[in-house]
Amino acid sequence: MPRTLPYYVVDAFTTRPFAGNPAAVIPLAGWLPDELLQQIAGELALSETAFVVREADGLRLRWLTPTTEVDLCGHATLASALVWMDEVEPGAARVRFATRSGPLEVERDGERLVLDLPARVAEPVADPALVAAVAEAIGAPVVELWRSRNLMAVVADAAAVRALAPELRRVGALPTEGLIVTAPGAGDRDGDVDLVSRYFSPQHGVDEDPVTGSAHCTLGPYWAARLGRTTLAARQVSRRGGELAVTVAGDRVRLGGHGVLVARGELRLP
Protein backbone atom coordinates (compact mmCIF):
# COMPACT_ATOMS: atom_id res chain seq x y z
CA MET A 1 0.00 0.00 0.00
CA PRO A 2 1.24 3.54 -0.68
CA ARG A 3 2.48 5.52 2.32
CA THR A 4 0.71 8.76 3.15
CA LEU A 5 1.88 12.01 4.71
CA PRO A 6 -0.23 14.89 6.00
CA TYR A 7 0.53 18.28 4.52
CA TYR A 8 -0.68 21.82 5.07
CA VAL A 9 -0.57 24.99 2.96
CA VAL A 10 -0.30 28.33 4.74
CA ASP A 11 -0.45 31.79 3.16
CA ALA A 12 2.21 33.72 5.10
CA PHE A 13 2.53 37.45 5.81
CA THR A 14 -1.12 38.13 5.09
CA THR A 15 -4.46 38.19 6.89
CA ARG A 16 -6.51 36.83 3.98
CA PRO A 17 -6.47 33.65 1.92
CA PHE A 18 -4.85 33.62 -1.51
CA ALA A 19 -2.53 36.52 -0.74
CA GLY A 20 0.91 36.61 0.87
CA ASN A 21 3.30 33.75 0.18
CA PRO A 22 2.03 30.16 0.20
CA ALA A 23 4.23 27.52 1.80
CA ALA A 24 3.64 23.81 2.22
CA VAL A 25 4.43 22.34 5.64
CA ILE A 26 4.97 18.61 6.15
CA PRO A 27 5.55 17.25 9.67
CA LEU A 28 7.49 13.97 9.46
CA ALA A 29 8.04 11.18 11.97
CA GLY A 30 11.60 10.86 10.62
CA TRP A 31 13.68 12.06 7.72
CA LEU A 32 12.99 10.70 4.27
CA PRO A 33 15.78 10.43 1.66
CA ASP A 34 16.85 13.84 0.36
CA GLU A 35 15.93 12.85 -3.19
CA LEU A 36 12.36 12.13 -2.10
CA LEU A 37 12.11 15.40 -0.17
CA GLN A 38 13.14 17.25 -3.33
CA GLN A 39 10.63 15.32 -5.42
CA ILE A 40 7.87 16.26 -2.98
CA ALA A 41 8.85 19.93 -3.12
CA GLY A 42 8.88 19.77 -6.91
CA GLU A 43 5.47 18.11 -6.97
CA LEU A 44 3.89 20.73 -4.69
CA ALA A 45 5.58 23.43 -6.81
CA LEU A 46 5.35 26.23 -4.24
CA SER A 47 8.25 28.59 -3.67
CA GLU A 48 9.06 26.64 -0.48
CA THR A 49 8.09 23.36 1.13
CA ALA A 50 9.06 23.02 4.79
CA PHE A 51 9.75 19.69 6.48
CA VAL A 52 9.70 19.41 10.29
CA VAL A 53 10.99 16.47 12.33
CA ARG A 54 11.11 16.12 16.11
CA GLU A 55 14.63 14.93 16.90
CA ALA A 56 16.14 13.99 20.26
CA ASP A 57 17.13 17.62 21.01
CA GLY A 58 14.04 19.33 19.59
CA LEU A 59 12.45 20.29 16.28
CA ARG A 60 14.50 20.46 13.09
CA LEU A 61 13.27 22.46 10.09
CA ARG A 62 14.42 22.26 6.47
CA TRP A 63 13.24 24.33 3.48
CA LEU A 64 13.23 23.22 -0.17
CA THR A 65 12.29 25.14 -3.29
CA PRO A 66 11.10 23.13 -6.31
CA THR A 67 14.76 22.67 -7.31
CA THR A 68 17.05 23.00 -4.28
CA GLU A 69 17.41 23.21 -0.49
CA VAL A 70 18.02 26.69 0.95
CA ASP A 71 19.70 27.99 4.10
CA LEU A 72 16.95 30.34 5.28
CA CYS A 73 13.29 30.96 4.50
CA GLY A 74 11.18 33.34 6.55
CA HIS A 75 7.70 32.73 5.19
CA ALA A 76 7.97 28.93 5.44
CA THR A 77 9.27 29.31 9.02
CA LEU A 78 6.18 31.35 9.88
CA ALA A 79 4.02 28.75 8.14
CA SER A 80 5.72 25.89 10.01
CA ALA A 81 5.25 27.64 13.36
CA LEU A 82 1.58 28.28 12.63
CA VAL A 83 0.99 24.63 11.73
CA TRP A 84 2.90 23.40 14.76
CA MET A 85 1.20 25.73 17.27
CA ASP A 86 -2.31 25.40 15.82
CA GLU A 87 -2.43 21.84 14.47
CA VAL A 88 0.30 19.69 16.06
CA GLU A 89 0.59 21.24 19.55
CA PRO A 90 -2.50 23.47 19.82
CA GLY A 91 -2.15 26.33 22.27
CA ALA A 92 1.66 26.52 22.23
CA ALA A 93 2.90 30.11 22.48
CA ARG A 94 6.42 29.61 21.18
CA VAL A 95 8.34 27.18 19.00
CA ARG A 96 12.07 26.79 18.39
CA PHE A 97 13.55 25.19 15.29
CA ALA A 98 17.08 23.96 14.65
CA THR A 99 18.00 24.94 11.08
CA ARG A 100 20.93 25.43 8.70
CA SER A 101 20.87 29.09 9.85
CA GLY A 102 21.07 28.19 13.52
CA PRO A 103 18.23 28.13 16.06
CA LEU A 104 15.16 30.14 15.03
CA GLU A 105 12.36 31.04 17.42
CA VAL A 106 8.80 32.04 16.60
CA GLU A 107 6.41 33.38 19.23
CA ARG A 108 2.84 34.58 19.33
CA ASP A 109 2.19 38.30 19.68
CA GLY A 110 -1.58 38.58 19.81
CA GLU A 111 -2.84 37.52 16.37
CA ARG A 112 0.61 37.86 14.82
CA LEU A 113 3.59 35.56 14.82
CA VAL A 114 7.07 37.02 15.31
CA LEU A 115 10.15 35.37 13.82
CA ASP A 116 13.65 35.93 15.19
CA LEU A 117 16.09 35.61 12.26
CA PRO A 118 19.79 36.38 11.68
CA ALA A 119 20.58 39.72 10.07
CA ARG A 120 22.31 39.69 6.67
CA VAL A 121 23.95 43.09 6.48
CA ALA A 122 24.76 44.23 2.94
CA GLU A 123 27.85 46.00 1.65
CA PRO A 124 27.83 48.53 -1.19
CA VAL A 125 28.81 47.31 -4.66
CA ALA A 126 31.07 49.69 -6.60
CA ASP A 127 31.43 47.59 -9.78
CA PRO A 128 29.91 49.70 -12.61
CA ALA A 129 29.60 46.65 -14.88
CA LEU A 130 27.55 44.75 -12.30
CA VAL A 131 25.35 47.79 -11.62
CA ALA A 132 24.74 48.06 -15.36
CA ALA A 133 23.96 44.33 -15.64
CA VAL A 134 21.37 44.59 -12.86
CA ALA A 135 19.79 47.66 -14.45
CA GLU A 136 19.53 45.83 -17.77
CA ALA A 137 18.04 42.77 -16.08
CA ILE A 138 15.30 44.72 -14.30
CA GLY A 139 14.76 47.34 -17.00
CA ALA A 140 15.09 50.27 -14.61
CA PRO A 141 17.86 52.61 -13.39
CA VAL A 142 19.67 51.41 -10.25
CA VAL A 143 20.31 54.16 -7.71
CA GLU A 144 22.44 51.97 -5.44
CA LEU A 145 23.57 48.33 -5.50
CA TRP A 146 24.35 46.33 -2.37
CA ARG A 147 25.32 42.72 -1.68
CA SER A 148 24.74 40.34 1.21
CA ARG A 149 23.76 36.76 0.37
CA ASN A 150 21.69 38.38 -2.39
CA LEU A 151 22.15 41.43 -4.53
CA MET A 152 19.92 44.34 -3.50
CA ALA A 153 19.12 47.08 -6.01
CA VAL A 154 17.69 50.37 -4.75
CA VAL A 155 15.51 52.17 -7.31
CA ALA A 156 13.83 55.56 -7.33
CA ASP A 157 10.42 54.97 -5.77
CA ALA A 158 7.63 52.53 -4.98
CA ALA A 159 6.01 52.99 -8.38
CA ALA A 160 9.24 51.89 -10.07
CA VAL A 161 9.33 48.71 -7.96
CA ARG A 162 5.72 47.88 -8.82
CA ALA A 163 6.29 48.51 -12.54
CA LEU A 164 9.27 46.16 -12.87
CA ALA A 165 9.06 43.55 -15.61
CA PRO A 166 12.51 41.97 -15.28
CA GLU A 167 14.10 39.82 -17.94
CA LEU A 168 14.37 36.67 -15.89
CA ARG A 169 17.04 35.09 -18.05
CA ARG A 170 19.30 38.06 -17.26
CA VAL A 171 18.36 37.95 -13.57
CA GLY A 172 19.22 34.26 -13.48
CA ALA A 173 22.64 34.98 -14.95
CA LEU A 174 23.58 37.47 -12.22
CA PRO A 175 26.23 36.30 -9.69
CA THR A 176 23.80 35.94 -6.79
CA GLU A 177 21.28 33.58 -5.22
CA GLY A 178 18.52 36.12 -5.76
CA LEU A 179 17.83 39.77 -6.48
CA ILE A 180 16.04 42.13 -4.09
CA VAL A 181 14.69 45.36 -5.57
CA THR A 182 13.62 48.03 -3.09
CA ALA A 183 12.62 51.68 -2.72
CA PRO A 184 11.16 54.02 -0.10
CA GLY A 185 7.54 53.18 0.64
CA ALA A 186 6.23 56.73 0.94
CA GLY A 187 3.51 57.37 -1.62
CA ASP A 188 2.86 53.72 -2.40
CA ARG A 189 -0.59 53.20 -3.90
CA ASP A 190 -1.69 51.00 -0.98
CA GLY A 191 -0.63 53.58 1.62
CA ASP A 192 2.61 54.76 3.10
CA VAL A 193 5.06 52.26 4.53
CA ASP A 194 8.77 52.64 5.21
CA LEU A 195 9.92 50.41 2.37
CA VAL A 196 8.66 48.33 -0.51
CA SER A 197 10.40 45.48 -2.27
CA ARG A 198 10.20 42.59 -4.70
CA TYR A 199 12.38 39.49 -4.88
CA PHE A 200 13.43 37.37 -7.86
CA SER A 201 15.32 34.06 -7.70
CA PRO A 202 15.21 32.11 -10.97
CA GLN A 203 18.54 30.65 -9.80
CA HIS A 204 16.49 28.61 -7.30
CA GLY A 205 13.53 27.88 -9.53
CA VAL A 206 11.46 30.78 -8.17
CA ASP A 207 10.94 33.50 -10.79
CA GLU A 208 9.35 35.87 -8.27
CA ASP A 209 8.78 35.08 -4.62
CA PRO A 210 5.56 36.72 -3.40
CA VAL A 211 6.74 37.70 0.11
CA THR A 212 10.27 36.94 1.24
CA GLY A 213 11.11 36.93 4.93
CA SER A 214 14.81 36.23 4.39
CA ALA A 215 15.13 39.26 2.08
CA HIS A 216 14.06 41.44 5.01
CA CYS A 217 17.10 40.20 6.94
CA THR A 218 18.99 42.45 4.49
CA LEU A 219 16.31 45.08 3.90
CA GLY A 220 15.83 45.68 7.62
CA PRO A 221 19.42 46.69 8.48
CA TYR A 222 19.73 48.79 5.30
CA TRP A 223 16.54 50.79 5.84
CA ALA A 224 17.08 51.04 9.61
CA ALA A 225 20.43 52.72 8.95
CA ARG A 226 19.03 54.91 6.19
CA LEU A 227 15.96 56.04 8.14
CA GLY A 228 17.62 56.21 11.55
CA ARG A 229 15.23 53.89 13.40
CA THR A 230 14.96 50.21 14.10
CA THR A 231 11.22 49.58 13.73
CA LEU A 232 9.90 49.56 10.17
CA ALA A 233 6.74 48.81 8.23
CA ALA A 234 7.47 46.85 5.05
CA ARG A 235 5.37 45.82 2.07
CA GLN A 236 6.36 43.36 -0.64
CA VAL A 237 4.55 44.49 -3.77
CA SER A 238 4.36 41.29 -5.78
CA ARG A 239 1.06 40.36 -7.42
CA ARG A 240 -0.09 38.57 -4.24
CA GLY A 241 1.56 41.07 -1.89
CA GLY A 242 2.23 40.95 1.83
CA GLU A 243 3.15 43.10 4.82
CA LEU A 244 5.75 42.68 7.55
CA ALA A 245 6.62 44.48 10.76
CA VAL A 246 10.42 44.63 10.89
CA THR A 247 12.52 45.26 14.01
CA VAL A 248 16.32 45.34 13.80
CA ALA A 249 18.06 44.31 17.03
CA GLY A 250 21.82 44.09 16.59
CA ASP A 251 22.66 40.98 14.61
CA ARG A 252 19.03 39.78 14.61
CA VAL A 253 15.95 40.84 12.68
CA ARG A 254 12.48 40.23 14.08
CA LEU A 255 9.70 39.87 11.53
CA GLY A 256 6.07 40.10 12.56
CA GLY A 257 3.28 38.86 10.33
CA HIS A 258 0.08 36.88 10.04
CA GLY A 259 -0.63 33.56 8.40
CA VAL A 260 -3.75 31.82 7.11
CA LEU A 261 -4.15 28.05 6.84
CA VAL A 262 -5.75 27.51 3.43
CA ALA A 263 -5.43 23.77 2.86
CA ARG A 264 -4.71 20.46 4.52
CA GLY A 265 -4.40 17.18 2.71
CA GLU A 266 -2.61 13.90 2.28
CA LEU A 267 0.33 13.01 0.07
CA ARG A 268 0.56 9.47 -1.29
CA LEU A 269 4.10 8.17 -1.64
CA PRO A 270 5.23 5.13 -3.63
pLDDT tens-digit readout, 191-225: 999 999 999 999 998 999 999 999 999 999 999 99
The model's pTM: 0.93
Give CATH for domain 123-250.
Answer: 3.10.310.10
Q: Choose the catalytic residue: 48, 107, 208, 243.
A: 48
Domain 3-111+256-269 class, CATH top level: alpha beta
Of the chain, the percentage scoring pLDDT greater than 90 comes to: 97
Residue 40 clears pLDDT 60, i.e. is over it? yes
| Same fold across 3-111+256-269 and 123-250 | yes
At a CB cut-off of 8 Å and minimum separation 6, what does 95 contact? 59, 80, 81, 84, 85, 89, 105, 106, 107
Active site residue 55: no
Mean pLDDT of 135-141: 98
Provide the residue ranges of all domains of the chain, joining segments of one domain with +: 3-111+256-269, 123-250
pLDDT band at 2 (very low <50, low <70, confident <90, very high): low
| Region class of 219: left (phi > 0), else alpha (psi between -120 and 50), else beta | alpha
Q: How many CB atoms lie within 10 A of CB 32?
A: 17
What are the distances in angstroms from CA 12 to CA 76, 158, 263?
8, 22, 13
